[in-house]
Structure 1
């Protein structure tokens, strides 16, 4: 039997690959990561992220450093055919459920630089830049990647598993024989990033906007500092390449600013797609990020989706590689992520179709319908309301409790915990492995059952009635009351495995959880 050199090989050192390498490297997993490019792309592509991704950065101990390159996302105002406000998307009011602003804008090149530096400092991670993948072979216990260095030299790398994070045109996806399916969205758009001076800032709207105008649908996004982005629909007969030049771009921005007001940072014409991989795994190869899915950018979820992918996959790889779980646990990755991505993409498509309606009569009807639904008063709708759970993946391989409950597959909140020196986020104290969280009013029977479970299994017990866990804003208390439960078993990626309202429920939940954690050799012996 061949002994692999690495546990995991990652192809692609963009944000998704970098986070995967960091998550694995911090857990001591021998990791190889390569990319054909040596440098971080110096222009922004992603511009938005959310509080779930901030918890991933927090787990890497990078959240505080990265917040220097972020700002809260402003509200987004949707204007109809006649410039009337027809919809408003905002954020929830504090206290924030994850202890971070739910929606943020960020500067991608600076964030990527921090991620790469962090990965480069991890002892168990090997970084190979200027290397392209040219071949893939799989055996029973490992995969082999063929690499070509930019100098022309060739080499091979073996690993027990491979994660393809190599983008929309993924080489590894093709080599693995995996295909994408079309979810029915294909439109040409121009994306323009601009650095605006003081004169230009004085001219621009104070909030982000969606111009739902049939003649030219357009999005205006306020980025960090003086960074502003426009996403502009390309009309039939227009040349996308010409529009992506200064001569083509400035006339489209004339409604807002002139060349005296700003400097062009990036112009790129795209076809916005909605695609998802039919299968996310082929043997020892897994897809993640743009290699697995692409969606229109109307809610800024593209990069977030990739980071959710690897947050889901990496804790499962760790559990399998360290013998805590059977290899079959990895079968849950594709179903969980594909279901979530497909549903969220459907919701993003709906927003895109609302913005991009080209028929004037249909656009006016849209405006009237939205205003009628709002009762004539446009109230804010939190962006996070569009996020689905992963509860639609309850199969034999799913890492969720089989019981049907509204909390299953949702993100568990992160409260602020009061400490003598100040407020501390829960994850800093409880970590990001399995946690069993008890409500303050859980009762003695539930606590006795929970303590027995904590004594026997690898998890952290968090009892909100314990003086060691005083939460500042009752975020968990409100969550438990809403879901009518007294205990929540939380996975390492912060999704709820299952909940219990009694000691009997908790014992049954613990037994079901144990089936996912038994080492493979124990299952074989049974």
Structure 2
């Protein structure tokens, strides 16, 4: 038992930390893991004693898997099922749409399903291995007092004793009914759906469940249906206006709803619960030293499987900013960029989910035939088919405003494979020892000065290099050929970045993979000095 946990049961001694996280669900746990990896002293406050042993979130895309990779979660730390197809059916037109989710983006599967308790266990195990992360279970958040130079968080420990955590920043990861959000007075904007939904999770379905995701877009009873690891399977049934929670959760009613898929088989229900879906976004994700992540900041309808994914995007954006803000003289510029970057993107994802909801939940036969027929027709034309079937409809991680140096013209064009304000692709690289890595694993958690077909270390003066390295920055090279003498050099195996018409050039990448700046060799000293000044 660590020092903080011992203090919990003593005389209410004050606790010191850099960051306090309230909420230890998957988003709060992922942020704790990330901050621990960054060496940021972190205390997590969680009112419950353990993980809820029930499936809830069920889907992750390549972006979420990339965040988990970057915070240090190994690929085999929790079980996943790769989904190769998402199919949409209309009772009047048959299959009218199909998303191709096979293959990879950024060297990761496009779509997987998972069992949430397994992911949470993996995250908590990872957090527990960090000496910088301290978790207080069975502990209640009471209030906070923000001062110009610190924030003081009042908690009540399992012994019923009040304590104070003295910290620099507070993060609310405490879900849709967030006390942190209420405390800073930021209301949700948006709406709830009028319809309630019955979620049914079955287990012991090995060899019996489907191997893809399907949406039965029937006006009478829309029904998404998908497999999950461990022989699990999920159905979601929209309730009619006259149906009650008690009626729908009745075992006989559930058996009747599942009959089209069961063919007389017995089925073991792991969970049944009625929910109302929401499409809401907070008016701001930050106020002073307080930040909101995950469902505390935004709630996404489940039709595109982006609820937890959006929360993981939050922590990837916020974690490194908290680290740099702890040492920066002007932390405001760094921290304000969290809301400026994340809120517009989260809002776009909510709009996408709402649009998908209109397709999944047509109000009547006429609307179903019209909407589904239009999608079926557009899916046959080359210009629109690629857009509808290859996930091109999903908003990319591309920011208009934030912590980067905006560029216009040549260096923000398609003549490079980078764009300022946009997340760089993850590619395969080979190092001087002929080892192959995903590019994110080469960068680590640092800012990177990356030379494309040029070694920046041979051109920079020692003083600027020293300042960059003091901030934790790295200097690396990617080229078409492997220089075994350059230990910081990598070969672009598939020539996705190097060997471009306009090589050589340089890029500064943030820890989350966003391109901070792109420039020619002649601009290197000025551009790097500007970044150092902003960070320091």
SS at match of 2:76: helix
Q: Is 1:170 the equivalent of 2:183?
A: no
Cα pair distance change 1:349/1:485, threshold 3 Å: farther
Partner of residue 145, structure 1 = 153
3-state SS of paired residue (2:226): strand
What is the distance in 2 between the residues matched to 1:84 and 1:164? 44
Per-residue Cα deviation, 1:424-444 (whole angstroms, up to 9, x for no partner): 22233331311233334x6x9
Question: C-alpha displacement at 1:422, in angstroms?
Answer: 4.7
Distance 1:474 1:452 in 2: 33
Contact residue 19 and residue 41 of structure 2 kept, 8 A: yes
The question of whether the paired residues in 2 share the 8 Å contact of 1:211 and 1:355 is answered with yes
CA–CA distance in structure 1, aligned partners of residues 306 and 170 of structure 2: 24
Matches within 5 A, 1:330-409: 330-375=335-380, 381-383=389-391, 385-392=393-400, 394=401, 398-404=402-408, 405=412, 407-409=419-421
Cα root mean square deviation, aligned: 2.9
Q: 1:164 to 1:84 in 2, by over 3 A?
A: same
CA distance in 1, matches of 2:153, 2:346: 28
Instruction: Measure the CA separation in 2 of the matches of 1:351 and 1:361.
Output: 18
The question of 1:418 aligning with 2:422 is answered: no
2:486 aligned residue: none
1:277 counterpart residue number: 282
Equivalent in 72, 77, 81 of residue 82 of structure 2: 72
Q: CA deviation at 1:453?
A: 6.5
**Structure 2: distance between partners of 1:256 and 1:372:** 29
Q: Which stretch of the first structure deviates more once superposed, 382-391 or 430-439?
A: 382-391
Q: Is the 8 A contact 1:14 1:112 kept in 2?
A: yes
Shift of 1:179: 1.4
- Cα separation, partners in 2 of 1:70 and 1:43, compared to 1, 3 Å: same
**Count of residue pairs brought into register by the alignment:** 501
Greater alpha carbon shift after TM alignment, 223-232 vs 144-153: 144-153
Rounded Cα–Cα distance in structure 2 between residues aligned with 1:147 and 1:242: 40
Task: Give 1:367 deviation, angstroms.
Answer: 2.0
Cα distance, 1:50 vs structure 2: 2.2
Matches within 5 A, 1:407-446: 407-418=419-430, 422-440=435-453
Name the SS of the counterpart of 2:44 in structure 1: strand
Deviates more, 1:253-262 or 1:272-281: 253-262
Query: Does 1 or 2 have the higher relative contact order (CA < 8 Å, sep 6+)?
Result: 1
Shift of 1:187: 3.5
**Residues in 2 aligned to 1:97 and 1:448: alpha-carbon distance in whole angstroms:** 34
Query: CA contact under 8 A between 1:91 and 1:384: conserved in structure 2?
Result: no
Residues 184 and 242 of structure 1: CA distance in aligned 2, closer, same or farther (over 3 Å): closer
Whole-angstrom CA distance in 2 between matches of 1:297 and 1:450 = 52
Runs of 4+ in 1 over 6 A off after TM superposition: 376-380, 444-447, 449-453
Q: Which runs of 5+ in 1 are unaligned?
A: 520-526
Q: Does 1:462 align with 2:472?
A: no
TM (norm. structure 1) is: 0.87
Q: C-alpha offsets along residues 458-493 of structure 1, whole Å, 9 cap, x if unaligned? A: 432332226141233334349x78x99943321111
Indicate conservation of the 8 Å contact 1:489/1:496, yes or no.
Answer: yes
- 1:219 equivalenced with 2:231 (yes/no): no
* Structure 1 residues 271 and 209: CA distance shift in structure 2, 3 A: same
Please state if 1:510 is matched with 2:522: no
1:487 and 1:499 in contact (8 A); partners too = yes
Moved more, 241-250 or 132-141: 241-250
What is residue 297 of structure 1 aligned with on the other side? 302
Pick aligned residue for 1:8 from 19, 24, 40: 19
Match of residue 72, structure 2, among 57, 61, 79: 61
- 2:200–2:235 contact (8 Å) kept in structure 1: yes
Task: Give me the whole-angstrom Cα distance separating, in 1, the residues matched to 2:311 and 2:468.
Answer: 30
DSSP 3-state at the match of 2:168: strand
- Equivalent residues in 2 for 1:120-131 (5 A)? 120-131=128-139
- Call closer, same or farther: CA 1:456–1:151 in 2, change over 3 Å: closer
Gaps of 5+ in 2: 1-13, 414-418, 483-488
Partner of 1:522: none
Distance 1:510 1:245 in 2: 64
Q: Is the 8 A contact 1:446 1:506 kept in 2?
A: no
1:450 to 1:432, Cα distance in 2 relative to 1, 3 A: farther
2:260 maps to: 255
> How far 1:121 sits from its partner (Å)?
2.2
Distance 1:371 1:450, change over 3 A: farther
Q: CA deviation at 1:86?
A: 1.3
**Equivalence map 1:175-186=2 (5 Å):** 175-182=183-190, 185-186=193-194
